[in-house]
Structure 1
Amino acid sequence: MTTPPAPHPSPETLLSQVATALGHPVAPPWADAVRAVPRDRFLPDRIWLRDGAGGYAPCDRAVDPERWGEAAFSDVPLVTQIREDADGFREPTSSASAPGTVLRMLEEAGIADGQRVLEIGTGTGYHAALLAHRLGDGLVVSVEVDPVLADTARANLKGAGRTPTVVTGDGALGHAAAAPYDRIIATCSVRAVPAAWLAQTLPGARLIVPWSTSWITYGTLVLTRRADGTADGRFAGYGSYMTMRGQRAESDLDRDLLRDGQRPCRSETALSPWAVAGEDLDAQFAVGLRVPDVWHSWDTATDQAHTRLWLADDAAASWASVDYDGRQTARFPVRQHGPRRLWDEVAAAHRQWVRAGEPRVAGHGLTVTAEGHRVQVQGRRSPPEQPSAP
C-alpha cells in the first residue's frame, strides 16, 4: 500500500497548530482572517531559524523551499531581520511573531465590529492584515519605527489586497491624527506604558501590551482605560517580544562596569542563582517587577567558577556576581560593587514573592496613572492558566 504524501503546509496546518496551543478552536472571524491572509506572503525570502546552539542560521526560500514553507505555516516566531557585529554575533532586530501568540492577543482584545484599532509595531504587516480583514482597512492604523520595515509592510499588505494606514514613526507617540481608538495592540514589549496611548484611547478601551523588565521580557498586560485617564488590568502568562527601541537599555558589563582595582564586597548566599534566573518564569517575572533596572546574564567561560550569574544595573553603576563551584549547592559566593547591592535587592524580592505565596504571572496586576505604575499582587500561586474562550 502506497503511503500518501504529507500534506503541504497551509493556513489549515497553521490553524490546527494554533488551536492546540490555545486549547480551543480559533474563533471563526479570526480563522477566516488566517485563511484569507496566508502568512507566507508576509515573510522575506530569507528567514532565520534557531541553529540549536543558541544562535540563528539562514533559511532561504530558493535553496530549501520545503523547510522554508514548513516554518512559514508553523506556530513559531520567525526572525526576519538580523544585525551581525564585527565578531560575527547575530542579533535579531525584527521578527514575525508566533501566530498562536498573535491570536491569543487578538482574543484578549475582544475586538468587535466598528472598533478603531491602533497597532504598535507593524513588522511584516501580517498582524495588521489580520486586523484589516476583520474590521476593514479604514479602521486599522499601524505604526512602525523602522522605515525599511514600514515600506516592506506596505508592499506586503498591498500584495495581499489590504490597505490599512501604515505610519512610519515612533510607536511610543501613537498616532494622534486618527485617534481616539477603541483598542491598542502592541507587538513590541514595553517597560512603561506610554502616556500617549492612554491619551489617544476612549474610556473603556482595552490595551494589549507585551511586558518587559530589565530582568526578563515575558508576560502580556491587559489594561482597561478608565474615564479619568488612568488604566488598570492584569498580566497574562504568555508573550515574549522585542522591547520597544526607545526603552532598551544599552549598558554593557565588560565595557561599562568591570574595572581593574575594584574592591567588591564579598559574602555568601543560600539562595540558588537558578531560583531567580532559571526556568521558573513566575519567579523571574516577580523579581523583574520588584527590582527595577537590573539585568542578568550567565557565564560559563570564566576560569574562576564553574558557572557565574552576573547582575548589573542599567545605569552602569553597580554589579554583582554569584558563583557555583560545580559541586555543592548549599552556599554560593557573592561579590557586589557599586552604590546598589544588587544581589541583596534580588534576594529580598524573591523573599517577598515567596511570602506572597509564589503567585504566577497572572497573579499580578498593574495600575497606570500620571505618577507612574503601581503593581498589585493578587494571591498565592494558582493553577496553570486556562485558555480563554473564543
Structure 2
Amino acid sequence: MVRSESPDLWWKAVYADAPITTQWDDGEYTGAGKGRMPTSSSSMPTMVFSMLSALDVEAGNRVLEIGTGTGWNAALLCRRLGDQNVVTVEIDAAVAQEARSRLLAADFDPEVVVGDGSVGYGLRSPYDRIIATASVGAIPSQWIGQAHPGAVIVAPWGPVYGGEAVARLVVDEDGVAQGQFIGSSAFMRLRQQRKHLPPTGQFLAPKKWPAGAAKSKTALSPDDVGDWICMFAIGVQVPDLFCRVDWGEDGSYRLWLFDTGVTSWATADYVKGRAEFEVAQAGPRNLWEQLEGAYGWWHQQGRPGFERFGLTTRGGPFREVWLDDPNNPVPVRKDR
C-alpha cells in the first residue's frame, strides 16, 4: 500500500493494532501481495508498548536495539532517552537506510548500525538495556557480555517445536541472565537463528509412509496439543523436536513429528469426531510418546500460561527453563 495513492487506508493500517509486514523474502520479493516469507515488519502497537514497558528505561540509560525495522521503536526510545543513548542494529542495509531516513525526517538521530544483531554492538557497550524485535532460540552470549550488571534484556524466545514468549531477563554480576516470560509473542526469527530443518523425505527415503513404522492408537487428540502455549511447553521439554502438518479433507490432518538429528519420526492422524487416533512411530525414539509425556507434565502442573515460566542463561545454547521458581526446572526428556 502506497500512502500517496490511498492515504486514508494507509493511516487506518498504521493505527490498527496489528503487525504490518514491510518486507518479504529478505527483499527479494517486491511485487504486489505476499511473498513466501515475511522478513521485516512494523510490530503490533500493543506488543511494542508492552515490551517497552518491560524494558523499563530510566533517564540516562544506554539502550541497544536489535532489529531496527521501520525505525518506530528506535524513535520511541530516542524520544524518551535522547538520540545519544540509543543504538539500533539492522542486518539489512536497505531496511536500515530507509529507517535512518525516516528517523531523520522525524528529527531523531540514533546510531543506526548495519550489522549482525546476534553479536550486538560492542563499540558502544556496556548497555543498561537491550531489546530485540526478532525472536531467538538462544540468547546470544554477546548480548549478556555487552550488558552492565543489573541490565535488563527483553527478547522474544521460543524452542524449535513452536510457541514463543517475551522474556524479561536481568543480568547479574556473574554474567547470568535470568527472569520470567511476560506473555505470548510471534516474531520473525533473528536471521542468524532461523530454523533450517531437514525435509520430510530425509526421514523416509527411499520408503514411503508408513515405512514399517510401529502402529498404535492414542486418546490424546492432535488437536489438543496445537495451542501456542502447549507447543511451548512441549518444545521446552523435547528441545530437538519439530513438527509439520499434512492437511486432508473435512478438517482432517496428519501431524508429523521429527527430531533434528534425523533418527526418528512419528505421525498422529486427526479425524473430527473420533475418540482415538492412529499413531505410527519409527526409529530409536518414540516421539509421540515423548510428546504425550511432555503434554502430561504440563497438564499436571495446571496447564500453566507463559507468565509462570522463566529462563536462566549464560548465553548461547546453555539455558534452563523453569516453572514459577528458578529452583524448579522444567524436565528435559531424553528418554528413547
Q: TM-score higher than 0.5 here?
A: yes
Q: What secondary structure sits across from 2:322 in the alignment?
A: strand
* Separation (CA, whole Å) in 2 of partners of 1:202 and 1:291: 33
Query: Which of the residues 219, 224, 227 maps onto 1:275?
Result: 224
Query: For 1:45-56, what aligned pairs fall within 5 Å after superposition?
Result: none
Q: What is the match of residue 234 of structure 2?
A: 287
Q: What is the match of residue 333 of structure 2?
A: none
Q: What is the match of residue 71 of structure 1?
A: 13
Q: What is the match of residue 29 of structure 1?
A: none
* Separation (CA, whole Å) in 1 of partners of 2:313 and 2:276: 40
Query: For 1:272-351, what aligned pairs fall within 5 Å after superposition?
Result: 272-277=221-226, 280-301=227-248, 306-328=252-274, 330-351=275-296
Percent sequence identity is 41
Q: Quote the offset at 1:74 in angstroms.
A: 1.4
Contact persistence 1:118–1:184 (CA under 8 A): yes
Q: What is the match of residue 18 of structure 1?
A: none
Write out per-residue CA displacement over residues 264-288 of structure 1, whole angstroms, 9 at most, x where no aligned residue. 23222111111111xx333222112
Letter in 1 for 2:259: D
Q: Quote the offset at 1:124 in angstroms.
A: 1.1
Query: Which of the residues 127, 130, 149 maps onto 2:73?
Result: 127
**Is 2:53 the partner of 1:107?**
yes
Contact persistence 1:250–1:314 (CA under 8 A): no
Q: Quote the offset at 1:229 in angstroms.
A: 0.8
* Separation (CA, whole Å) in 2 of partners of 1:228 and 1:341: 39
Query: Which of the residues 187, 192, 195 maps onto 2:141?
Result: 195
Query: Which of the residues 305, 309, 313 maps onto 1:368?
Result: 313
* Separation (CA, whole Å) in 1 of partners of 2:10 and 2:261: 41
Query: For 1:10-159, what aligned pairs fall within 5 Å after superposition?
Result: 59-83=1-25, 90-159=36-105
* Separation (CA, whole Å) in 1 of partners of 2:120 and 2:100: 18
Q: Quote the offset at 1:209 in angstroms.
A: 0.8
Q: Quote the offset at 1:301 in angstroms.
A: 3.6
* Separation (CA, whole Å) in 2 of partners of 1:213 and 1:117: 26
* Separation (CA, whole Å) in 2 of partners of 1:241 and 1:226: 27
Q: What secondary structure sits across from 1:275 in the alignment?
A: helix
Contact persistence 1:307–1:326 (CA under 8 A): no
Given the two structures, how large is their TM-score scaled by the length of structure 2?
Answer: 0.87
Query: For 1:211-250, what aligned pairs fall within 5 Å after superposition?
Result: 211-250=157-196
Letter in 2 for 1:281: W
Write out per-residue CA displacement over residues 91-120 of structure 1, whole angstroms, 9 at most, x where no aligned residue. 211111011111111111110100000001
* Separation (CA, whole Å) in 2 of partners of 1:318 and 1:163: 52
Q: What is the match of residue 265 of structure 1?
A: 214
Instruction: Name the count of aligned residue pairs.
Output: 315
Q: Are the structure 2 counterparts of residues 265 and 148 from structure 1 closer, same or farther at C-alpha, using a change threshold of 3 Å?
A: farther
Gaps of 5+ in 2: 326-336
More relative contact order, 1 or 2 (CA 8 Å, 6+ apart): 2
Contact persistence 1:294–1:312 (CA under 8 A): yes
Write out per-residue CA displacement over residues 309-330 of structure 1, whole angstroms, 9 at most, x where no aligned residue. 12223344433211023341x2
Q: Quote the offset at 1:169 in angstroms.
A: 1.1
* Aligned-pair Cα RMSD in Å: 2.2
Contact persistence 2:22–2:42 (CA under 8 A): yes
Q: Are the structure 2 counterparts of residues 317 and 89 from structure 1 closer, same or farther at C-alpha, using a change threshold of 3 Å?
A: farther
**Is 2:283 the partner of 1:359?**
no
Q: Quote the offset at 1:254 in angstroms.
A: 4.0
Contact persistence 1:365–1:376 (CA under 8 A): yes
Gaps of 5+ in 1: 1-58, 380-390
* Separation (CA, whole Å) in 2 of partners of 1:204 and 1:72: 35
Given the two structures, how large is their TM-score scaled by the length of structure 1?
Answer: 0.76
Q: Quote the offset at 1:217 in angstroms.
A: 4.1
